[in-house]
Amino acid sequence: MSDTGERIFSQAVEDYVKAIYKLQNEGQSVSTTDLAKKIGATPAAATKMIKHLAENRLIDHTPYYGVRLTLAGERVALEIIRHHRLLELYLHQALGYGWDEVDAEAEKLEHHISEEFEERIDRMLDYPRTDPHGDPIPTRDGLIEPNRGKPLAESEPGETLMILRVRDSSPEALRYLASIGLHLEVVVRVKEKQPLDGALTLDVNGVTRSVGRELAGYVFVEDRKAREEVSVP
Amino acid sequence: MSDTGERIFSQAVEDYVKAIYKLQNEGQSVSTTDLAKKIGATPAAATKMIKHLAENRLIDHTPYYGVRLTLAGERVALEIIRHHRLLELYLHQALGYGWDEVDAEAEKLEHHISEEFEERIDRMLDYPRTDPHGDPIPTRDGLIEPNRGKPLAESEPGETLMILRVRDSSPEALRYLASIGLHLEVVVRVKEKQPLDGALTLDVNGVTRSVGRELAGYVFVEDRKAREEVSVP
DNA sequence: CGGAAGTTTTAACCAGGGTTAAAATAAAAT
DNA sequence: ATTTTATTTTAACCCTGGTTAAAACTTCCG
């Protein structure tokens, strides 16, 4: 009950921290070049920001060897991701945005909402755990559940699977997946798997569909049986 | 259907243009000092921005004699004010914000919502004409109705008036007004007016209330009879 | 081991939006 | 009519977040 809702870090800082968080989630330490690429700036700009972040104890920096978030940095990242995912869900549920549209709008808003706003939409959505792509929403105090599911691309013929999560890659990919019936919670059965390119033939609600290996790598699933025990929280 | 939703002007530019618009609405041309004060920066900073705005044909600047918005500038100002007031109403209606809280939150968001978002909340609110303080919401194509009502402070004993609009001054003032029953659409009767300080004694829903001249200057009213003919849009 | 190649960092610079201090101008007052 | 006062503008500077070009460091390979 002490802070008055002022933002502590600039939007740029928040963007970098968030980018580092995401890169860190596949591969231990984050390189300057990868970070620069993700942010859309030059490596030189990234280096300068890295110094700034390190001075503010948001990251540990071993020159020439990359960067890792400190605990403080992770807290900042998770707060922004919380904003982002709550906003995505809110836009979807309350304003009818499609799951391919929510990311762009949430990106614009995530740095600018107050704690009050966050709290209100959280309550309005009844304290949700996942966003419209099935990604977990961090809690107010910076905890996050692990990502759910294994890639559909790694499944084998005969398996019956439920879609739990879809990587929020491009709006086009999301729209295409939706168009062939691959939404969250949908159950699919794997009919065939091409031996060479890994393309899958699926049964989706009685309709036969094909997805290439790349797209199938964006869809995360869980064995049908495992799901029955978890049920509603 | 041509622009991709990119913002054309910086947030700073938008803030200055909005400030000029508001100052212009009482007193013809806007002085550097007043503008600086409104923005919360030094006159030197305002001068620099004024040059920038003039180069972009958003204002006409007569050095040493002040500034006026061009038509283009007015369009920009009204677009931001539209965002602001739609947001205020949305926060109030959809998220339960009090009328004393909406201004601060809308201030943060008004620069960052897309046309899509604007369109969606506009539809969701069923194309409203006024915000929670009774201020008119500009249309999508930059038209705005004149401010409604005359100051309560100028009314005389015996008059029966309906509250149409309340100046969005401070959250405290708004909270106080609400606490004594002075909301929008409420009908009051003027019982007395102090000859010297202009303080009013009112009948508000059967309760007797006093408001000083300053506060009464923030409340805008219309003669009760005039209202009956207008009715619901 | 010694380059060659790729990555990272440094250096010098730019633009936007701010500051303070000083100079220029307008308005008011003796 | 001239001086005083207040306002506005200019000048010189700061900080943030970017750029390009060059230098420093790793790494990998012959």
Segment A124-160, tens digit of pLDDT = 999 999 999 999 999 999 999 999 999 999 999 999 9
pLDDT band for position B26 (50/70/90)?
confident
Q: How many CB pairs under 8 A join A and B?
A: 38
CA distance A95 to chain B (A): 7
pLDDT score for A6: 67
- What DSSP element (H or E) covers A115? helix A115-124
Q: Is A105 on the interface with B (CB under 8 A)?
A: yes
The distance (Å) linking the CA of A147 with the C1' of D4 is 74
Query: In chain A, what is the greatest distance between 2 CA atoms, to the nearest angstrom?
Result: 60
In chain A, the residue whose alpha carbon lies closest to the alpha carbon of B107 is: A112
CA distance A62 to chain B (A): 36
Residue B105 has pLDDT above 60, yes or no: yes
pLDDT score for B5: 54
Residue B155 has pLDDT above 60, yes or no: yes
Residue A105 to residue B116, Cβ atoms within 8 A: yes
CB within 8 Å of B111: residues ≥ 6 apart: A112, B7, B11, B14, B15, B80, B83
pTM of the model: 0.91
CB within 8 Å of B8: residues ≥ 6 apart: none
pLDDT score for A188: 96
The distance (Å) linking the CA of A10 with the C1' of D16 is 10
Q: Is A176 on the interface with B (CB under 8 A)?
A: no
Q: Which residue is nearest to nucleotide D24 (CA to C1')?
A: A64
Residue A10, CB, strand C, below 7 Å: no
pLDDT score for B2: 45
In the DSSP assignment, the letter for residue A51 is: H
Query: A58: helix, coil or strand?
Result: coil
CB within 8 Å of B83: residues ≥ 6 apart: B106, B109, B110, B111, B113, B118
Of B94, B95, B112, the CB nearest to A109: B112
Candidates B7, B108, B110: best to mutate against A (most CBs of A within 10 A) is: B108
Cβ neighbours of A117 in B, within 8 Å = 95, 105
Cβ neighbours of A120 in B, within 8 Å = 95-97
Q: Is A10 on the interface with B (CB under 8 A)?
A: no
Residue B228 has pLDDT above 60, yes or no: no
CA distance B143 to chain A (A): 25
**HEC string for chain B:** CCCCCCCCCCHHHHHHHHHHHHHHCCCCCECHHHHHHHHCCCHHHHHHHHHHHHHCCCEEEECCCEEEECHHHHHHHHHHHHHHHHHHHHHHHHHCCCCCCHHHHHHHHCCCCCHHHHHHHHHHCCCCCECCCCCECCCCCCCCCCCCCEEHHHCCCCCEEEEEEECCCCHHHHHHHHHCCCCCCCEEEEEEECCCCCCEEEEECCEEEEECHHHHCCEEEEEHHHHHHHCCC
pLDDT band for position B212 (50/70/90)?
very high
pLDDT score for A227: 46
pLDDT band for position B7 (50/70/90)?
confident
Q: In tens digits, what is the pLDDT along chain A, a chain of 233 residues? A: 444 556 889 999 999 999 999 999 988 899 999 999 999 999 999 999 999 999 999 999 999 999 999 999 999 999 999 999 999 999 999 999 999 999 999 999 999 999 999 999 999 999 999 999 999 999 999 999 999 999 999 999 999 999 999 999 999 999 999 999 999 999 999 999 999 999 999 999 999 999 999 999 999 999 986 445 444 44
For A157-175, write each residue's pLDDT tens digit: 999 999 999 999 999 999 9
Nucleotides of C strand lying within 7 Å of any protein CB atom:
7-12, 16-22, 25-27
Residue B148 has pLDDT above 90, yes or no: yes
Mean pLDDT, residues B53-74: 97
